[in-house]
Structure 1
Amino acid sequence: MDQKENIMNYETVALDDQDHSIVIIDQTLLPGRTELIRLRTAQEIWNAIYLLQVRGAPAIGVTAAFGIYLLARQIQMENIDNAGSDFGAFYRQLTQQREYLNSSRPTAVNLSWALNRMDALCRKAGEEEKRSVAEIVELLHQEAAQIKEEDIRVCRAIGENGLTLVKPGDGILTHCNAGQLATCKYGTATAPIYLGEERGYHFHVFADETRPLLQGARLTAYELHSAGVDVTLICDNMSATVMKKGWVNAVFVGCDRVAANGDAANKIGTSVVATVAKRYGIPFYVCAPTSTIDFDTPTGEGINIEQRPAEEVTEMWYKERMAPEGVKVFNPAFDVTDHDLITGIVTEYGIARAPFTESLAQIRRKKEAASV
């Protein structure tokens, strides 16, 4: 595919019903090459999530939902004479596939959230409603499509709420990629930026490069630039400088999991940005779909942080190895930003502020009321 094509014209995650496959942008090749790849098997889906070919909590959740539907269909078609019509056998096989997909990334709660949502629908349809396996597979198909549509609506709502926190011409700093490439549209942290761009706000955005995987450099800077946003790429250790100069009026970041007390896990380095922002009196906002809020985890201490391969630090992106052979490497994919460093958590149901235990619970009640 022509690398000059506008990346904003492609869907991050799509289901091809004719080919029975998930179509994603291989984000490991960006920005040099835009390539769409197809996922059909459990291993292909697992690999795509683990290898970051698809990434960002919302996009991972949508991929997992499409994946469990496709795997359910495969179980039905391959065992049409037994498991294809027997719910018990069908569900046992599907549970194995669900648990396998869930093992690909431990920190992003949307992965387990989407899989659990699909599982709950499956059990209700099979055990309570006594639906046929064919009917259940179609229900899973519809639910996965609904999860994608919800993601688009949620991100736009986050954008509208986030836009109330800034004014035209503001400087905004963001870390990692919480943009369209991490969701199905708009992004989370970038949603206010895109909506502002549509309305003539002309923000000045600073994108941290985000070591070691450079999602800010490869993805955020790429998509914002493609969308015509005024974006400046900076190294991670330059954030204090641009803040001290008065160029940043607000920080917007995404997240992979929010604990009940407001502690938020996001790409490694986020807590550093939050600490520096507090030093210079700059509001720090976490943009979080309510699906990323984990009320079963009281504090950030309970969030399992994924450890990534050492080669991502010592070799990736370099022509030659840039660290001595045998040196020890600590490479956590995420860190946890303490809630006292967070000005507000922007959700689709409003903005939570301290004390977060209370405000997030109120957000939860709003969501429950809306779903009745």
Structure 2
Amino acid sequence: MIELPYVLRHENICRLEGNRLLIGDRRVFPFEKRFEVCANVQEVARSLQAMVTQGGGPLEVALQTMILVTNQMQQGLLGHGFETLTDAAKLLIAARPTNTTMHRALSHLLAAVQPKQADLEELASALKQEVSSMLDGYDQLYHQMGRLGSSLIADRSVILTTCFAEHTFLLSLAYAKESGKEVRVLANETRPYLQGSRLTAVSLEEMDIEVNVITDGMGATFMEAGKVDAYMTAVDLLCMDGTVVNKVGTLANAIAARYASVPYYAFSISPDPSKQGRADVTMEMRPPQEVKRCMGSATTLDSIKALYPAFDSIPAQLVTALVTPKGILKPEEIQRNFS
């Protein structure tokens, strides 16, 4: 039986305890298994901005936060109007503007429960039921895409990845291993938060999949030397024209992969229908001081300036194929399959 590693289990991504939401603090994992405790939506939004959780984490956090808000509405701690929910959603969305999967999930949730807004008890019940249904649906998609992804992995493959590609990538490796394939992963550190070395590598070790940590600039060297069979990443945002938006550093490896004739496969649950291409995407710029520190230690002088674009835009022509719930698609097939 395939089991998810610690950081991807629902209760460790986030969980409700009374009038608080506990968010697994990925900034300190694996050295600490700590939870950020949030008592309201404002504190949750600040935690998302502070990168307490990243990647797919904000999606689940946002959905659970909406339950927290309805609970507080029932207790008279917040206003009873539907606008209280919509205001909460807006605050969460603004916390990570490039994460449009979270935006679309919250929009879907609000649309699903809006007919119940006249009765607070019905609204709260409908919202909790819808959140549960959505999370179950995502779990099914993760395994479905994991099986598809495993078909792209040959026996004795070496896979390069960037950042923490979460459920779909890890499940692809797990299903490949289950079928008898040997696989090894090169995980780049992913500065400045080191998601690759702290989350990806640790999760793979937990799953008994061989992994080597490399620095962010080493991927091209291994690809050019013929020591990488495929490059695989998550997708933070997929445009309708096949443009991929993912953690900064993804573009450099995608360019190197094309040069070295290494296929690049990206995992996406769905494109954002409001984003036709790169020009429609709000690219998040993180505070520059984050680049000047790593795991709490300064990496340069305070007087030195820095820049931190959080995401890369990867042109469709650099993407070999996208693993989606509708199959393994070429970038030019996204529009037709998701319209």
User: For this structure pair, what is the TM-score category when the shorter chain's length is used for normalisation?
Assistant: over 0.9
Partner of 1:22: 21
Question: Which letter does structure 2 place at the counterpart of 1:361?
Answer: Q
Whole-angstrom CA distance in 2 between matches of 1:48 and 1:143: 24
> 1:87 — aligned with what?
none
Structure 2 gap segments, 5+ residues each: none
TM-superposed CA distance for 1:10, in Å, is: 4.5
Contact in 1 for aligned 2:192/2:293 (Cα 8 Å): no
What corresponds to 1:100 in structure 2? 91
Name 1:157's counterpart in structure 2.
Answer: 144
1: CA distance, partners of 2:311 / 2:180: 34
The answer on 1:123 being equivalent to 2:114 is yes
Q: What SS does the aligned partner of 1:49 have?
A: helix
Q: Distance in 2 between matches of 1:9 and 1:268?
A: 22
- Contact 2:224–2:256 (8 Å) recurs in 1: no
Map residues 213-292 of structure 1 onto 2, 5 A cutoff: 213-290=193-270
1:298-313 equivalent positions in 2, closer than 5 A: 298-313=276-291
- Show the 5 A alignment for 1:203-218: 203-218=183-198
Q: Any unmatched runs of 5+ in structure 1? A: 1-5, 85-89, 180-186, 366-372
Distance 1:306 1:266 in 2: 11
Partner of 1:40 in structure 2? 39
Whole-angstrom CA distance in 1 between matches of 2:289 and 2:7 = 30
> Which of residues 292, 300, 310 in structure 2 aligns to 1:333?
310
In angstroms, what is the RMSD of aligned CA positions? 2.0
Secondary structure at the residue paired with 2:169? coil
- For residue 205 of structure 1, report the CA deviation from its aligned partner: 0.6
The aligned length equals 334
Query: Which residue of structure 2 aligns with residue 136 of structure 1?
Result: 123
Q: Provide the residue aligned with 1:315 in structure 2.
A: 293
Which deviates more, 36-45 or 219-228? Answer: 36-45
CA distance in 1, matches of 2:269, 2:145: 8
Give CA-to-partner distance per residue, 1:92-142, whole Å, 9 cap, x none.
22222221111110101122112111211232333xxxx511101111111
**Which residue in the other structure is 1:62 paired with?**
60
Seen in structure 2, the aligned counterparts of structure 1 residues 142 and 282 have a Cα distance that, compared at 3 Å, is same
**Matches of 2:234 and 2:180 in 1, distance apart?**
23
| Residue 9 of structure 1: how far off its partner (Å) | 8.3
Find the aligned partners of 1:101 and 1:9 in 2 and give their Cα distance: 21
Contact 1:21–1:70 (8 Å) recurs in 2: yes
| C-alpha contact 2:14 2:24 (8 A) present in aligned 1 | no
Q: Aligned AA for 1:177?
A: F
The answer to whether the 8 Å contact 1:62/1:144 transfers is: no
Structure 2 contact 19–72 (Cα < 8 Å) conserved: no
Q: What residue is the counterpart of 2:48 in the other structure?
A: 49
Displacement, 1:224? Answer: 0.7
Corresponding residue SS for 1:294: coil
How much identity, in percent, do the aligned residues show?
Answer: 25
> Which AA in structure 1 matches 2:69?
L
The superposition leaves residues 307-341 of structure 1 with CA deviations (integer Å, 9 ceiling, x where unpaired) of 1112211123364x332333321101111101000
* More moved, 254-263 vs 294-303: 294-303
Greater Cα offset, 235-244 or 71-80: 71-80
Secondary structure at the aligned position of 2:27 is classed as helix
Equivalent-residue separation in structure 2 for 1:223 and 1:101 (angstroms): 27
